[in-house]
Structure 1
């Protein structure tokens, strides 16, 4: 009797996206605010509905996320850690001009119900916070690519670095989030992580791999990417969005200040022809932004 042929090994989503050259600008998940909860794990696929987490605290965090356009993430220090008696929480405002971090400690998860209800809870934290998605139960690419990156960054900035639960956009693993600005990066190699984190701590963004700032709309995220290339302005607070105006047929005019530049993009929906996560059971689609025009000042005059 002939043995059945083995099923072909499925290509992981991050490898497939890399091979296809998927564009990542404009793909940061929407979030004006972030709430981070230290939780050693194990993390279930959907952390607030599993992971043995207190039900009242989970409900409070879920309501907070919907009210504040926020994202709730579990975080833990890279590597094997002993569960501490007290754990840390962070509340982050990532909106332009409002960047701030507050933090505190809790012993029982039920304490978070009162913390979430009080925007003034805790104390101010100077940051920065560097998150690396390493949520293997949500997508294996996040663990395979994320854990080495988190370890590399933690070796340089141990007090500022955390592994996190699912960020979004698994096919762009390894994903890094720079807080308080809420800038999401993709395809970050472990060797590059420490330099990127140190650069961010000094107020600068990398010249490649920025998916976007989560508090901005996808079209503004993508336009800001092209504006950085056009002007050479990689300061984290450079290129303040002024206006984003549709002009029919998916055309957008996006204007920035400091430095002044206008980016014209075409927004399209593209069928990927493949699943966009390792767990996907059907082909997905992608939002793509084509650069049509740039009206920019002289590059030498750009503010860095």
Structure 2
């Protein structure tokens, strides 16, 4: 069946909405397994206790942690003990740790600082996890596009894939978040699934699908994605953010360290096209667009 022409992803692609710099601002993520359906509010509108969910989301939000509901691709029975995963996506600190819980209230005892203090020494902490937004009650595009991508990833890497709740950017579906590296991809077609997996396992990115790295300022995300596209197959760890500042002309100047020396990427920030940005939107919005326009080598001295 052809896609509906009024779906937000179709309209967004027709407008050519840029995807750079659109990853969410939290650098740490708590994944909470909750099988079954989710309402528009995700974990707080599911069979998970809503009062506990709201407290958990509010408490962790104070620490800059985003909470995502997750479930296994396809129709899976609820396990006796559900999983939680905590990922730190900050450069130099990346890792993910897993645990289980039986009662919802157990997660109110979750202490991110204690988890971080233990570190991410185990091999499992660095195995890529693929969280695919399939939150259909938030936006139908996420379910229509996300579920087939999650299924395709699951066929390639069984057990490393979850469907997840809203990650932002519904119009860029299918959206795939790779943890713990924190790379968020948009408009992922099934033909690119193998490339996404290969890149994640080699510590690289698929530059043409990259929305950005979570936890970074939008202009920095855009500059990094642009550098990956321009400079070739560098690994994620090869590009280091040195500084970011707003120039007198209003552009953002992001200085990056690379194996070949430092470069400065200039990013223009401008207003995008005013439109209904999601399938559920009832009011027009004007997004900011982050457009890298140039890269220059930093002269020594």
Q: TM-score, normalised by structure 2?
A: 0.90
Return closer, same or farther for 1:58/1:117 CA change in 2, 3 Å cut-off: farther
C-alpha displacement of 1:56:
5.1
Q: Report which of the two has the higher share of helix.
A: 2
Alpha-carbon distance in 2 for matches of 1:117, 1:224: 28
SS of structure 1 residue aligned to 2:96: strand
C-alpha displacement of 1:198:
2.7
User: Are 1:169 and 2:164 an aligned pair?
Assistant: no
Alpha-carbon distance in 2 for matches of 1:39, 1:48: 7
C-alpha displacement of 1:291:
3.0
Aligned to 1:179: 179
Alpha-carbon distance in 1 for matches of 2:58, 2:38: 20
Return closer, same or farther for 1:55/1:135 CA change in 2, 3 Å cut-off: closer
Note the alpha carbon deviations across 1:189-232, whole angstroms, 9 max, x for none. Answer: 12211331232112111131100001110000111122112211
Alpha-carbon distance in 2 for matches of 1:248, 1:173: 36
Q: Mind listing any 5+ residue stretches in structure 1 that lack a counterpart?
A: 1-8, 298-304
Aligned to 2:24: 29
Comparing 239-248 and 60-69, the one that deviates more: 60-69
Aligned to 1:87: 82
Comparing 43-52 and 157-166, the one that deviates more: 43-52
Q: Which runs of 4+ in 1 moved over 4 A?
A: 121-124
Aligned to 1:264: 266
User: Are 1:232 and 2:227 an aligned pair?
Assistant: no
Alpha-carbon distance in 2 for matches of 1:55, 1:170: 24
Alpha-carbon distance in 1 for matches of 2:221, 2:140: 27
Return closer, same or farther for 1:296/1:282 CA change in 2, 3 Å cut-off: same
Aligned to 1:141: 141
After superposition, where does 1:155-234 map in structure 2 within 5 Å? 155-234=155-234
Alpha-carbon distance in 2 for matches of 1:182, 1:71: 12
Q: TM-score, normalised by structure 1?
A: 0.89
Alpha-carbon distance in 2 for matches of 1:80, 1:10: 28
Over alpha carbons, which structure has the higher Rg?
1
Alpha-carbon distance in 2 for matches of 1:250, 1:118: 37
Q: Mind listing any 5+ residue stretches in structure 2 that lack a counterpart?
A: none
